[in-house]
């Protein structure tokens, strides 16, 4: 049986800007309504809530027609997400918001959420999607993109897809290998003959209609199917129906369906992890700024729940909603991957700047309110201090990392800092050591700072011959004047000896690759470019920038070619085992790719890469074609290569492309394809990465927490004003183990937000390293909550939790299975 599904995949942006897509939607959907008028049996499937909202705004009369034909059962909506997004690079919270925002739109506008996740044209699928889908009320998944695989044919057409945590959905790849068929006889026959699972389910979908640039099914296609539906001899049974009907048919054979476990890795378009570096950086920074703004407004709405503050809360909530929709839009599967034309790139970069501006405004304004610092009338318990400065610490993470070196504005008096160990960085900032960072999400006034720094913890640099030696309490580092790293040793303590040298030969070696693709320029990097590469020449200059005591740093300059160079700062800080590399790159090379390499002494058959809400392991060898296909892979904030006793992680602040082969770790930095944007990545770039050597193997809590803090750490700020809070808002959210001790495990409190439909508070946690964990979640009594409930990502209650009030905290205990994502809702009484 062939389920013929009329559709039109409209790229929200690609070779045209967003504005043109708004017109494409109107033209396409009005055409489909005319088709419905002429063919009562015809049904059309439409996805992407953002496109529907555009039509609602621009063409209200057409939108009303769409809703009327939807009621008749012919104009069908599907997908469940705001747009058809990239699934490799968005954070876990971004994927959650795609479903939360999309499903709420479909339910509000069309009376029900969607049952099918419709994503035909995205470049790979995260192993956490099944869990997120199920939490959004979706059990079915459709794509066809893996039919483009270059190395291996995906073995199934309809299957059970099991995610990282064990959640399952039914997946379907239409055997015609296209979402743009013309409903011809040969395509119907191909749908039947190429069904890889016909022995289990002798049925498949065939998606027909002109797509990518719009249009949809033509009258000729519909007429062709009308003829084939009349039981033409020699042809399979053809029905024109919706996707849900097919999946219900498949669900009847659920236990017999084959099972695929883990990510759906796409064996093509690996260059999308790196192309358009500014978009990827803007996306990462925007995600983090919205995380902070959500947290601040969630706290503010809880402690300031009064009629006088409702206007402020509503205004800022609406602003954050706008920002999230804008971020989700720019995570479209041709925008975030960087496979779009220059006008789309410029619009995405401008959108990210706007998100950062608005989110920062929300955070700053509400943090002022929470600390009681205001130039107008006091809002909370305050006392007047004329012309006095106040040191305020904001920790956005519910874990401890102290002592901690933080920057603070220059000009702060020693009484405010309450310490004598200060290192001036430049005219605007100094470094201090905060000795007592709360192991909780907290806003603390006058945190404890370290008065004296012991000699063992001081940073130092020694220049001897052609080597530069950096040392702190955790690391011993040897750099060459050429900029290469020759030794990285984790210092022992007490009876624990120093580690071996993590570097084999040299590391921090920049390498340029000839980057000419077989098919798709901005989309692809090829396996053969590893054979067409050459190391960047040694640094042309070096300079010692900082000699301690809190930070020691070097600067190297490299010449890449005509008008292209790298200025790199290499640094260590007191109390940290990170070796940090901050890079300022001017990039004007054509069809080249820049990677940095780290040759290590470590050997392991797999390396570990952060993905949404967890990590995935991938081979470091090419034993099979499935292994060899993963020569370039996507990772988020870290990648780790570990043996039993030691491991080394690469952390980054805005990069996603990695390659680990045997003992050699690579991080992809920049590309310069010429199509569809001939200015791709041209210009100036700033980014950071770091090396984290660690004792013990991976999974490693220190790697996970360090990667989180490397991207969003505690902040230390100085405020001045006549009115200041007595002690700030204090500790708001904390995690404990079962023994009521400071939690040191693998559960992360990733999101705190105000509920979508009121003043309830939603917390989202996940187990990050693949173990079963029991954790006590503590919420400050200052927030005024008395109860707690489990909920899904749609913020719908799924069960009551026992909540205990004790010692200024409301505490709930939950058990998380490996890689489980769990939301908790605290209702406002």
Radius of gyration of the chain (CA): 28
590 is catalytic: no
User: 152-156, 231-235, 313-317, 416-420 — which is least confidently predicted?
Assistant: 416-420
* C-alpha span between 296 and 729 (Å, rounded): 11
Q: How confident is the model at residue 807 (pLDDT cuts 50, 70, 90)?
A: confident
Expressed in angstroms, the distance from the first to the final Cα of the chain is: 54
pLDDT at 379: 39
Q: What is the pLDDT of residues 734-763, one digit of tens each?
A: 999 999 999 999 999 999 999 999 999 999
* C-alpha span between 459 and 202 (Å, rounded): 68
Residues 6+ apart with CB under 8 A from 655: 274, 277, 280, 667, 668, 669, 687, 689
Burial of 126: CB neighbours in 10 Å, binned 0-12, 13-18, 19+: buried
Is 103 a residue whose pLDDT tops 80? yes
Is 383 a residue whose pLDDT tops 60? no
pLDDT at 808: 92
Do residues 320 and 290 lie in contact, with contact meaning Cβ atoms separated by under 8 Å?
yes
Residues 6+ apart with CB under 8 A from 115: 78, 80, 137, 138, 139, 140, 244, 247
4: β partners:
206, 240
Torsion of CA 292, 296, 298, 303, to 10 degrees: 160
pLDDT at 728: 55
pLDDT at 418: 66
pLDDT at 449: 80
* C-alpha span between 761 and 417 (Å, rounded): 34
Q: How confident is the model at residue 382 (pLDDT cuts 50, 70, 90)?
A: very low
Is 385 a residue whose pLDDT tops 60? no
Q: How far is CA 232 from the centre of its chain?
A: 50
The model carries a pTM of 0.96
Q: How confident is the model at residue 439 (pLDDT cuts 50, 70, 90)?
A: confident
pLDDT at 416: 61
Average of per-residue pLDDT values in the chain: 94
Is 523 a residue whose pLDDT tops 90? yes
Tokens 């027609």 found at: 65
SS (HEC) of 174-203: CCCCCCCECCCHHHHHHHHHCCCCCCCCCC
Q: In Å, how far are 134, 338, 613 from 796, measured between CA atoms?
A: 13, 35, 21
Beta-strand ranges (E) seen in 209-305 are: 238-240, 259-261
Is 22 strand, coil or helix?
helix
pLDDT above 90 as % of the chain: 84
Do residues 732 and 779 lie in contact, with contact meaning Cβ atoms separated by under 8 Å?
yes
| Cβ count near 122 (within 10 Å) | 20
Higher pLDDT: 68 or 365? It is: 68
pLDDT at 305: 66
pLDDT at 375: 35
Q: What is the pLDDT of residues 561-574, one digit of tens each?
A: 989 999 999 999 99
Is 387 a residue whose pLDDT tops 90? no
Do residues 794 and 102 lie in contact, with contact meaning Cβ atoms separated by under 8 Å?
no
Active-site annotation holder among 11, 121, 334, 653? 121
Q: How confident is the model at residue 723 (pLDDT cuts 50, 70, 90)?
A: very low
Do residues 297 and 317 lie in contact, with contact meaning Cβ atoms separated by under 8 Å?
yes
User: 451-460, 512-521, 745-754 — which is least confidently predicted?
Assistant: 451-460
69 HSE (CA, 13 A, CB side): 28
pLDDT mean over 81-92? 99
Higher pLDDT: 367 or 123? It is: 123
Cα angle 368, 372, 377 (rounded to 5 degrees) comes to: 105
pLDDT mean over 657-663? 98
Structural domains of the chain, ranges and CATH numbers in brackets? 2-268 (3.20.110.10), 269-371 (1.20.1270.50), 388-453+714-725 (no CATH), 508-711 (2.70.98.30), 729-829 (2.60.40)
């Amino acid at each position: 049986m062939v389920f013929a599904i009329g559709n039109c995949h409209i790229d929200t942006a690609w070779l045209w800007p967003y504005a043109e897509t708004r017109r494409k939607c109107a033209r396409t959907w009005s055409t489909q309504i005319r088709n419905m008028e002429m063919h009562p049996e015809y049904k059309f499937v439409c996805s992407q809530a953002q496109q529907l909202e555009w039509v609602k705004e621009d063409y209200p009369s057409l939108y009303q027609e769409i809703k009327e034909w939807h009621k008749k059962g012919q104009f069908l909506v599907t997908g469940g997400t705001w747009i058809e997004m990239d699934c490799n690079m968005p954070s876990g919270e971004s994927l959650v918001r795609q479903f939360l925002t999309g499903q709420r739109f479909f339910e509000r506008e069309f009376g029900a959420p969607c049952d099918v996740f419709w994503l035909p044209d995205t470049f790979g699928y995260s192993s956490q999607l099944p869990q997120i889908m199920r939490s959004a009320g979706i059990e079915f998944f459709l794509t066809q993109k893996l039919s483009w695989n270059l190395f291996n044919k995906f073995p199934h057409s309809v299957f059970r897809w099991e995610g990282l945590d064990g959640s399952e959905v039914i997946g379907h790849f239409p055997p015609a290998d296209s979402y743009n068929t013309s409903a011809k006889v040969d395509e119907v026959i191909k749908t039947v003959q190429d069904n890889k699972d016909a022995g289990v389910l002798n049925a498949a979908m065939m998606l027909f209609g002109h797509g990518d640039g719009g249009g949809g099914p033509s009258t000729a296609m519909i007429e062709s199917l009308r003829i084939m539906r009349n039981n033409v001899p020699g042809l399979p049974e053809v029905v024109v129906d919706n996707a849900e009907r097919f999946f219900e048919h498949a669900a009847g054979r659920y236990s017999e369906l084959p099972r695929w476990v883990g990510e759906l890795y796409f064996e093509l378009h690996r260059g999308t992890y790196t192309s358009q570096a500014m978009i990827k950086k803007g996306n990462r920074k925007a995600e983090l700024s919205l995380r902070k703004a959500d947290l601040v407004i969630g706290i503010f709405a809880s402690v300031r729940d009064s009629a006088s503050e409702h206007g402020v809360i509503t205004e800022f909530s609406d602003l954050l909603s706008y920002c999230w929709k804008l971020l989700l839009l720019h995570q479209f599967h041709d925008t975030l991957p960087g496979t779009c034309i220059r006008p789309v790139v410029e619009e995405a970069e401008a959108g990210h700047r706007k998100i950062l501006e608005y989110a920062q405004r929300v955070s700053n304004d509400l943090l002022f309110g929470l600390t009681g610092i205001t130039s107008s009338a006091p809002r909370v318990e305050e006392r007047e201090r004329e012309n006095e400065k106040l040191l305020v610490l904001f920790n956005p993470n519910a874990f401890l990392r102290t002592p901690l070196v933080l920057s603070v504005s220059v000009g702060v008096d020693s009484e405010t800092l309450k310490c004598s160990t200060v290192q001036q960085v430049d005219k605007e900032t100094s470094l201090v050591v905060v000795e007592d960072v709360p192991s909780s999400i907290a806003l603390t006034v006058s945190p404890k700072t370290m008065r004296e720094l012991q000699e063992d913890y001081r940073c130092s640099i020694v220049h001897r011959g052609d080597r530069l030696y950096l040392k702190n309490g955790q690391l011993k580092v040897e750099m060459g004047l050429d900029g290469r790293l020759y030794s990285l040793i984790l210092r022992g303590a007490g009876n624990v000896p120093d580690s071996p040298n993590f570097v084999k030969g040299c590391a921090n070696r920049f390498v340029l690759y000839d980057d000419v693709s077989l098919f798709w320029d901005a989309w692809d990097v090829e396996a053969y470019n590893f054979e067409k590469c050459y190391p960047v020449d040694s640094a042309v200059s070096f300079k010692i920038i900082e000699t301690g005591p809190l930070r020691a740093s070097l600067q190297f300059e490299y010449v890449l070619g005509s008008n292209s160079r790298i200025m790199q700062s290499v640094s260590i800080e007191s109390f940290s085992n990170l070796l940090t590399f901050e890079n300022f790159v001017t990039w004007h090379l054509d069809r080249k790719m820049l990677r940095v390499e780290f040759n290590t002494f470590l050997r392991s058959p797999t390396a570990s890469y952060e993905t949404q809400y967890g990590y995935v392991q991938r081979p470091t060898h090419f034993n099979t074609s499935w292994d060899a296909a993963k020569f370039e892979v996507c990772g988020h904030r870290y990648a780790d290569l570990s043996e039993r006793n030691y491991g080394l992680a690469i952390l980054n602040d805005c990069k996603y492309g990695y390659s680990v082969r045997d003992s050699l770790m690579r991080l992809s930095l920049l590309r310069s394809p010429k199509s569809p944007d001939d200015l791709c990545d041209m210009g100036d770039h700033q980014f950071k990465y770091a090396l984290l050597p660690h004792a013990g193997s991976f999974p490693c809590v220190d790697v996970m927490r360090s990667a989180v803090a490397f991207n969003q750490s505690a902040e230390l700020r100085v405020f001045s004003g006549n009115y200041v809070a007595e002690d700030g808002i204090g500790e708001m959210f904390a995690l404990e183990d079962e023994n009521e001790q400071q939690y040191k495990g693998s559960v992360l409190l990733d999101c705190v937000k105000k509920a979508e439909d009121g003043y309830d508070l939603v917390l989202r946690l996940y187990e990050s390293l693949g173990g079963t964990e029991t954790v006590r979640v503590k919420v400050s009594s200052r927030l005024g909550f008395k109860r707690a409930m489990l909920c899904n990502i749609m913020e719908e209650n799924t069960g009551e939790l026992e909540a205990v009030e004790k010692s200024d905290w409301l505490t709930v205990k939950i058990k998380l299975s490996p890689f489980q994502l769990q939301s908790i809702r605290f209702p406002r009484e």
